[in-house]
Amino acid sequence: MMRLRSPLWIVVLLWLSLFDVAEAGLKIYFIRHAEAGHNVVKEWKGKPKDQWPAYVGNPDMFSPKGEKQVAKATDKLKQYHFDFIAVSPIWRTRHTVLPYLGETGVKAELWPELAEFDRFSTNLTSRLTLPPPNADLFTGGDVIAIPDQEKASFVLRKDGRRLFKPGTEPLQLAADLNAVAEKTAELIKTRFGGSDKSILLVGHGNSGRLLLHALLKNSDAWKTQLANTGIWMAEEQSDGSFKLRMLNDAPVKP
């Protein structure tokens, strides 16, 4: 007898529908970008660099696996309805969601707060007293430019036309990244809090984890590694707090 197996995202959608009857709070969906060349360098370190494919080490190219992930993510995202979409300005995030935007005719807003950062310490973030963020954290970064061929799919936020610029000293870096995550959470709450809307954020592993930290407060779920094109979803409660409902496409028990 043939056994039919539904894709995990179908199971997740059915599971989440149980909450839609009782819960009508804001739902924040976050998807990490597809696998890019910088994600696979460790896999190729044992081979001479002259044998590396062009994508290895390049954050602006998808690996073959990443290309397949983009196609699957496009189909996965089409199963949802989003009232708003915000995307990191970085190439790999834009191009993860670009096919979905093109097929649905939806336009997304670029949020510099969702951009990636390379250095990050959970111990510094959660255990130590941090200094104030740098004064030019949100004004000192590079100006964001949308390529002409992508202007049909993306727009800039009026107050978000530059990348953030965190410090380099460990404590200052942690303080600045905390401030970035808190600002992202505040932007979401100010624009959509208390509503029944569903919004999609497209970002990176570290930025997605740190945003979870800002939203969930005392939960350790934010320390979980986010899979490429994996989705987490947090739902606003009546008291303004958030509960994690989905992590890496899998339901999280209440």
Residue carrying structure tokens 């409660």: 237
Q: Which DSSP string corresponds to 7-71?
A: -HHHHHHHHHHHHHHH--S-EEEEEEPPPBGGGGHHHHTTS-GGGS-TTTT-TTSB-HHHHHHHH
Phi–psi pair at 242, nearest 5 degrees: -125, 145
> What are the pLDDT digits (tens) for 63-120?
999 999 999 999 999 999 999 999 999 999 999 999 999 999 999 999 999 999 865 5
* Amino acid found at 155: V
User: How many helices (H) and strands (E) would you count in the chain?
Assistant: 7, 8
Measure the CA–CA gap between 90 and 109, rounded to whole angstroms.
13
SS3 243: strand
Mean pLDDT, the chain, integer: 89
Model-level pTM? 0.89
For residue 74, what is the enclosing H or E element?
A: helix 64-77
For residue 72, what is the enclosing H or E element?
A: helix 64-77
**Highest mean pLDDT pick, 3-12, 38-47, 115-124, 238-247:** 238-247
Which strands form 198-203's sheet, in the order they lie side by side?
Answer: 154-156, 108-110, 84-87, 198-203, 27-32, 231-236, 242-247, 250-251
> What are the pLDDT digits (tens) for 157-212?
999 999 999 998 888 888 899 899 999 999 999 999 999 999 999 999 999 999 99
Residue carrying structure tokens 């990050």: 120
* Amino acid found at 72: K
Partners of 109 in the beta sheet?
86, 155
DSSP 8-state secondary structure symbol assigned to residue 220: S
How far, in Å, are 4, 5, 7, 11, 212 from residue 1 at the CA level?
10, 13, 19, 22, 43
Q: Give the pLDDT of residue 230.
A: 97
Structural contact between residues 150 and 197, judged by C-beta atoms closer than 8 angstroms: no
